[in-house]
Amino acid sequence: MVRKLDPPQTWNPMVENYLRATGFYHVSKIGVIRGFHPLLATLVERWRPETHTFVLPVGEVTVTLEDVAYIFGLPIDGEAVSGWTDSSGDFVQSQSHAIFGREPEVSRSTLFTDKSTAYAHAKYLPLLRDFDRIHTYSWGSACLAHLYRALCRASRFDTKEMDGPLNLLFVWAWERMPCIAPVPRNTLPPAEIPVAKR
């Protein structure tokens, strides 16, 4: 796996323009939200895979594309993030060579973060081949689909862990149900995109 190139404490200003051009700048500025296991367990317990909704005493609610755009600032219009998925060493080697001009120095490779937030999956490499098209994809739709899939998997009785965009889930819950937010809304800085940065 390839580690993040620029941890927050060593931010490289040269990368900022590239992040802005791809539409990932706002997401790159969001920190990691740790903990809150009771909230996660409660939401997973109330998730219904048949309808992709949380069933609460007041009714059914769900995270929407509008929420993804509001919370993360990711584009929700554009081309679908889709394609053939392969994690084999040959695939990673060929894609890395085609995109970066060299093969990775380590045996496993990923690009977009997983639950560790330090690694990402190599299946996204083909989408980065044409740098000028990265911003044309609906990354918000892909993020929402990933969250739904993760919640469906986590809601199974034999699952003990959950991956996916948990920051999105936590911030969504705090925005939609402010009474459970760890910080009162009136003490937060002014709203900005992404809301998750607040």
Alpha-carbon gap, residue 16 to 110, rounded angstroms: 21
pLDDT digits (tens, 9 = 90+) for 98-155: 777 777 665 453 344 444 545 556 677 777 778 888 889 999 999 999 999 999 999 9
Q: Is 24 a member of any domain?
A: no
Lowest mean pLDDT among 21-35, 76-90, 102-116: 102-116
* Mean pLDDT value across the chain: 78
Both 73 and 89 in one domain: the answer is no
Q: Is 149 a member of any domain?
A: yes
Structure tokens at 70: 């509001």
Q: Give the CB-side neighbour count of residue 118, counting CA atoms within 13 A.
A: 3
Q: Is 148 a member of any domain?
A: yes
Report residue 2's pLDDT band, with 50, 70 and 90 as the boundaries. Answer: very low
Both 75 and 149 in one domain: the answer is yes
Both 63 and 86 in one domain: the answer is no
Q: Tokens 């699952």 correspond to what residue?
A: 159
Both 145 and 70 in one domain: the answer is yes
Q: Is 176 a member of any domain?
A: yes
- In this predicted model, which residue has the larger pLDDT, 140 or 178? 140
What confidence score (pLDDT) does residue 112 get?
47
What confidence score (pLDDT) does residue 197 get?
65
73 backbone φψ class: left, alpha, beta (φ>0; ψ -120 to 50): left
Both 124 and 60 in one domain: the answer is no
Indicate the number of domains in the chain. Answer: 2
Give the domain extent around 48.
32-81+137-180
177: nearest Cα among 24, 39, 18, 15 = 39
63: nearest Cα among 78, 47, 42 = 47
Alpha-carbon gap, residue 138 to 35, rounded angstroms: 29
Lowest mean pLDDT among 12-21, 40-49, 166-175, 180-189: 180-189
Structure tokens at 9: 């404490």
Q: How many CB atoms sit inside 10 A of residue 149's CB? A: 14
Give the CA diameter of the chain. Answer: 55
Identify the top-confidence range among 93-97, 99-103, 141-145, 172-176.
141-145
Both 87 and 108 in one domain: the answer is yes
Both 121 and 152 in one domain: the answer is no
